[in-house]
Amino acid sequence: MSTAPIEEEGSFVIRPAQSAEEVSQLWWPLMKKLGWNRDHDDALTHFRAARNGKNWLMVVPKETGKPEGCIVAFTYPNSTGWVGYFIMNTPFRGRGLGAALFKDLLSSFQASNTTYLGLDGVEEQANTYNRRGFEVTAKIPLVTRPSLKEKPTSIDMVPIGTEERIMDIKVIDPESLAQVDLAHTGFYRPAYWSQEGLLSRKDAYGYALLSTAPGESRLVGYILVRRCEQGHRFGPLYAETYAQALLLLHTAMKNIAHKEGTMIAEIFGSNPNGIKVFEDLGWTWAGVDYNRMWRGGRVPNEQQEGGKGTTGMFAIFDACAG
């Protein structure tokens, strides 16, 4: 992989990441310092989704000779893109390095003919992103709950439909998972829904719900859970109905009934049943909403009013990847 500089100024160089190890050495300490509640293994997962680092841009000040900040241009194969992990070590903020990174990120998306470009940002950064052409179109509430050991759920059992079957997500055809993801988000992300991505991670688990109606065996939804620093991160959660979403979430929670730590999820605010499913199982708002923003106000059809995301996406995958 080429790591030739994308931009070189007198005091810094911007280039693609050289390896997953280089990414992790910058990214993981900042995740812990910022309190973003991720997991060390997320670095490799996102590195692979960022075309093995080609789209993970690092800024290297010449005074230190090592990366001090980064931004990820997640470029998905269907001309969609996402801005992720725009982070900088504190001593190097306010020097124009972030502006240079963002400029090169936009150039990267332009070169790849990206049609839809989004990000999730905190309220404090909304004006900054607005000046760069991004418009708020939805909210992403953060919800959490204690472990089932600390706070059992009041719902002991959720019935499964007579023509439904739950299966381990890791035995489902990865392309089928990618297609359901696409149908709800507008993102085609096969790099995540692969053995090299999420499905080989030992800390990750999940459940798929299949319709077994006569003449069909159809994937109607699924949930993924992976480890995070403070416990477990739930998402995405896709389903055709509230009852299916409740079943998947309840099943996933019960799987870690013996574990300590909190549970966390990011809700797709445009689906009114998203927050309800989680609240009915004892989750509460964490006091944070991200702004879902799209450049030029261009939103994929799947996430617009009337799109499948507004009825079937209960929790998103990750605010840092769309």
Q: What is the pLDDT along the chain (322 residues), one digit of tens a residue?
A: 445 556 666 789 999 999 999 999 999 999 999 999 999 999 999 999 999 999 999 999 999 999 999 999 999 999 999 999 999 999 999 999 999 999 999 999 999 999 999 999 999 989 999 999 999 999 999 999 999 999 999 998 899 999 999 999 999 999 999 999 999 999 999 999 999 999 999 999 999 999 998 888 899 999 999 999 999 999 999 999 999 999 999 999 999 999 999 999 999 999 999 999 999 999 999 999 999 999 999 999 999 999 999 999 999 999 999 9
**CATH 3.40.630.30 correct for 7-114:** yes
User: CA–CA separation, 73 vs 63, rounded Å?
Assistant: 25
**CATH 1.20.1050.10 correct for 140-315:** no
- Please tell me the predicted confidence (pLDDT) of residue 1: 44
- Please tell me the predicted confidence (pLDDT) of residue 10: 76
Query: End-to-end CA distance of the chain, in Å?
Result: 25
- Please tell me the predicted confidence (pLDDT) of residue 216: 82
- Please tell me the predicted confidence (pLDDT) of residue 215: 82
Domain residue limits, the chain: 7-114, 140-315
- Please tell me the predicted confidence (pLDDT) of residue 117: 98
- Please tell me the predicted confidence (pLDDT) of residue 5: 59
Within 8 A by CB and 6+ apart from 200, the residues are none
Name the token pair of 208. Answer: 């798929």
User: CA–CA separation, 36 vs 46, rounded Å?
Assistant: 15
Please answer whether residues 307 and 301 qualify as being in contact, where contact means their C-beta atoms are separated by less than 8 angstroms.
Answer: yes
Radius of gyration of the chain measured on its C-alpha atoms: 20
Say if 7-114 and 140-315 have the same CATH topology: yes
pTM (two decimals): 0.95
| Residue 142 half-sphere exposure toward CB, CA atoms < 13 A | 17
Q: In a 3-state reduction of DSSP, which class is residue 127?
A: helix
